[in-house]
Amino acid sequence: MHTQVVIIGAGPAGLLLSHLLANDGVDAVIVESRSRAYVEKRIRAGILESSSVELLESAGVGERLRKEGMEHRGIYLQWPGHRHKFDFVDLVGRGVWVYGQTEVTKDLGAARDADGQVTFYGASDVALHDVDSENPYVTFVDESGTGDRIDSQVIAGCDGFHGPSRASIDDATVMEREYPFAWLGVLADVAPSTDELIYAWHPDGFAMHSMRSHDVSRFYLQVDPGEDIGEWSDDRIWSELRKRLAHDDWDLQIGDITEKSVLPMRSFVCTPMRQGRLFLAGDSAHIVPPTGAKGLNLAIADVGLLAAALGSYLKTGSTELIDAYSDTALRRVWRCTHFSWWMTTTLHQHGDAFDDQLQLSQLRLLASSKAAAKGLAENYAGLPIGY
Ligand code: FAS
Ligand code: PHB
């Protein structure tokens, strides 16, 4: 089989890249190891920066988002006795959207169906070949058990943290930081008890109140990295959330918990994001702790750059944008890596009284200084694409 671009991975990065390329008249085939149903059901991110929404809309996949997504002006940061609202629209002129990654993936999958392009779901033994040649190719076994090969001009590694593409980057510089805590993520059929997301510092550990719709809420609790989810009954979860999110006469509504899981936390950056005709985008190249709501938005930003670069190269032969891709993408990657590290280290309990005082001082400064609040708003609401 021949195509212009083979994309490994049908998560948000792979699906968005294929759709942007199709809009640009470039042919792409996706090879994905999981089933479509599995990919579309995977519960992950919930926040889209306005630049992500603009890119999805420009690609023609923003209609349901605009209808069903929830536009948010900002967030609350809280610590015992204090809950402070940050209005990003007032501070920096833009807010964020609440729209689950599952919905983004479904919308992108539907767009790909309409593009009529080929996606191999359920592939195994996916391997990259000759990435430094002018004709790189991918081999795999399709879900019927038949061996396949796709020859191309470019391979896009959109296969996430555990995919094979990153291994093809020769002499990659990998920088990684593991955090001494994890998140217990909870999905519940209960209307949110707040209008904006609440990020809460608490002496017993971080907690967050997020949401997916007017009827479904999403919560996170700081736990130990090796936490056994079996130790967390629904009652224990609600009791801990009520304690850590408590504020004045505010009450947390509870409901049926439909999903709970422990999510690890790490920062990870692979440099460069290119090897010959192989380009990495999204989690295959970088991972951020979810505290800053940057993972999905970074994947979208990478893909916006990569789609333009590949379109220019494959249609005109110009290598200017593909040669600049890795350095340009990494500038935003490091900005978001720093912001996610800062949000994570500022809001999570380290079990150290000195750290507690530093963190509380930082939170008081954010609540009292417009300059400090603008810095938070600019990073959380997202920097313009191409930063
Ligand atoms: P993805 O991992 O989404 O997609 C990669 C795809 O490649 C997958 O479908 C995978 O099956 C496929 N693949 C892997 N190996 C393959 C192979 N050998 N062959 C073919 N295909 C292969 N971000 C936030 O902003 N907020 C959050 O709350 C948040 N929570 C998260 C929770 C979890 C458990 C995880 C893992 C991530 C979370 N993230 C969150 C980050 C997440 O949203 C990612 O940033 C986003 O999924 C990145 O999209 P992709 O780069 O497409 O990678
Ligand atoms: C989510 O809703 O899943 C979410 C929101 C904001 C974050 C992390 C996760 O910072």
Residue spans of the domains in the chain: they are: 5-70+100-175+266-347, 179-265+352-381
Residue 46 CA to ligand 1 center (angstroms) comes to 13
Tens digits of residue pLDDT in 72-120: 999 999 999 999 999 999 999 999 999 999 999 999 999 999 988 899 9
C-beta of 289 in contact with ligand 1 (< 6 A):
no
pLDDT at 385 over 80: no
Which ligand 2 atom is at minimum distance from the Cα of 211?
2
Cα separation of 373 and 380, whole Å? 10
Residue 386's pLDDT band, with cuts at 50, 70 and 90, is low
Which residues are paired to 77 by β-bridges?
A: 84, 199
Please check whether residue 337 is in contact with residue 330, taking contact to mean a CB–CB distance below 8 angstroms. no
pLDDT of residue 187: 97
Cα separation of 28 and 118, whole Å? 8
Please check whether residue 326 is in contact with residue 278, taking contact to mean a CB–CB distance below 8 angstroms. no
When pLDDT is averaged across residues 29-33 and rounded to a whole number, the result is 98
Residue 229 CA to ligand 1 center (angstroms) comes to 21
**Which two three-digit tokens encode residue 353?**
């009284």
Tens digits of residue pLDDT in 118-156: 999 999 999 999 999 999 999 999 999 999 999 999 999
Tens digits of residue pLDDT in 210-254: 999 999 999 999 999 999 999 999 999 999 999 999 999 999 999
Cα separation of 152 and 138, whole Å? 8
Listed residue (300, 293, 292, 288) closest to 51, CA to CA: 300
Residue 209 CA to ligand 1 center (angstroms) comes to 22
Q: What is the pTM of this model?
A: 0.96
Which amino acid residue places its CA nearest to atom 1 of ligand 2?
Answer: 46
- Whether 209 sits among the annotated catalytic residues: the reply is no
CA dist list (Å): 27 to 24, 113, 274, 383? 9, 14, 20, 30
C-beta of 210 in contact with ligand 2 (< 6 A):
yes
Homologous superfamily assigned to 179-265+352-381: D-Amino Acid Oxidase, subunit A, domain 2 (3.30.9.10)
- Whether 85 sits among the annotated catalytic residues: the reply is no
Q: What are phi and psi of 279, to 5 degrees?
A: -125, 130
pLDDT of residue 115: 86
- Whether 72 sits among the annotated catalytic residues: the reply is yes
Considering the chain, what is the average pLDDT of its residues?
A: 96
270's CB contacts (< 8 A; 6+ apart) are 166, 169, 172, 173, 174, 280, 284, 285, 286
- State the fold for domain 5-70+100-175+266-347: FAD/NAD(P)-binding domain (3.50.50)
Q: What is the share, in percent, of the chain residues with pLDDT greater than 90?
A: 97
